[in-house]
Amino acid sequence: MRKLPLLLSALTLAGVSTLSAAQSWEALPETAPSPANNPTTTEKVELGKILYFDPRLSSTGTVSCNSCHNVMLGGEDNRSFSMGVHGQLGGRSAPTVWNSAFNSVQFWDGRADSLEAQAAGPVTAGVEMGMKSWDDVVIRLEAIPGYADLFKSAFGEKAVISKDNATKAIAAYERTLITPNSPYDRYAKGDESAMTAQQIKGLNTFSQTGCTSCHSGAAFNGPTMPAGSGFYVNFPTFTDSAYVKKYNLLKDKGRGEVTKNKADDHKYKIPVLRNVALTAPYFHNGSVKTLDEAVRVMAKVQLNKTLNDQEVADIVAFLGSLTGEFPEQTMPRLPSYSGKTITP
């Protein structure tokens, strides 16, 4: 862990005061912690991977978890709004699944307190995977030969196919989606040659601009919080910027949509910055198409600072150093259903 001076100007974001402090630049852990009620096992991860890739968890048999959170890419779909069953579009850009295990809450608005809870949501969301209920999902999985044995292998001989076991398996697989050993990680561990001179300059500019007021920690998604306790900030903070109207940043109420508390309007959890160079377009509404523009917008609407072209280029270079090593992903063989279709 590399100790570097991190000078943070006094700043208040969403009621959170940040004062001058020294902070460590942390490398990303190579494994993610699992909850006591869902320890990670090889069998559970294998079942979770199969479920993650199986489009039969959707009403039309056309949309899987991987459709919107593509692990063959940056963990999302590079669309402003993801496309669900019947070509329907959601209202937010899909966040990356890579390193999502390091989030204390899931979804932009933090409405899921765990990966298990997150895995349950899209399956029965009308504009996403469109199943009427998890009871219907279970009935479908029970009808597919092979799934019963996979659930028993993962959860024991007496295990049944259930929503609880399915979401635990998907979450266990997602906790293996970690991308360590980026140039930044190697630099943080002491390899002076791992980052370019411009990336190091960008790291310093990132810090001095105040970006670390929110994007801190090993995943650059804010301070470590207990599971289920999200770290939220207003976005945008400075609403008089022309960027706010240009990119329609106030249309979505963010966490306020969940809590129905006006004080939570336009608050969001801090997104992971790992592999951010691969996850365009940017922000909750996917309104900004390029990383350099996203940097300009964030500096202005969150910190009320205008960056020059060189500062933007340096920060973008630094953000590129956060692209890690992706564990190899192979497409699983799904349990087959012979002789007839199981979907409409």
Examine the residue annotation and report whether 128 is marked as an active-site residue of this protein. Answer: yes
Kindly tell me if the per-residue pLDDT of 103 is higher than 80: yes
**Stretch among 22-31, 44-53, 99-108, 285-294 having the lowest mean pLDDT:** 22-31
Closest CA to 234 of 13, 10, 9, 11: 13
Number of C-beta neighbours around residue 119 at 10 A: 25
- The average pLDDT across 226-234 equals 87
CA distances from 254 to 52, 108, 183, 215, 301 (A): 26, 7, 33, 18, 16
Domain residue spans in the chain?
2-30+181-320, 42-174
Q: How far apart are CA 327 and CA 28, in angstroms?
A: 14
User: pLDDT by residue (tens digit) across 307-341?
Assistant: 999 999 999 999 999 999 999 999 999 999 888 78
2-30+181-320 architecture in CATH?
A: Orthogonal Bundle (1.10)
User: pLDDT by residue (tens digit) across 244-264?
Assistant: 999 999 999 999 999 999 999
Q: Which of 128, 174, 293, 311 is catalytic?
A: 128
User: pLDDT by residue (tens digit) across 79-101?
Assistant: 999 999 999 999 999 999 999 99
Based on the number of CB atoms within 10 Å of its own CB, is 152 exposed (0-12), middle (13-18) or buried (19 or more)?
middle
Domains 2-30+181-320 and 42-174 share a fold: yes
Work out whether strand 23-25 and strand 2-4 pair parallel, antiparallel, or are unpaired: antiparallel
Q: How far apart are CA 335 and CA 261, in angstroms?
A: 45
Q: Computed from CA positions of residues 158, 163, 166, 172, in that sequence, does the dihedral angle turn out positive or negative?
A: negative
170 touches 119 (CB < 8 A): yes
User: pLDDT by residue (tens digit) across 150-190?
Assistant: 999 999 999 999 999 999 999 999 999 999 999 999 999 99
Number of C-beta neighbours around residue 3 at 10 A: 10
Q: How far apart are CA 296 and CA 305, in angstroms?
A: 9
Q: How far apart are CA 90 and CA 69, in angstroms?
A: 14
Q: Computed from CA positions of residues 280, 285, 289, 290, in that sequence, does the dihedral angle turn out positive or negative?
A: negative
CATH of domain 42-174: 1.10.760.10
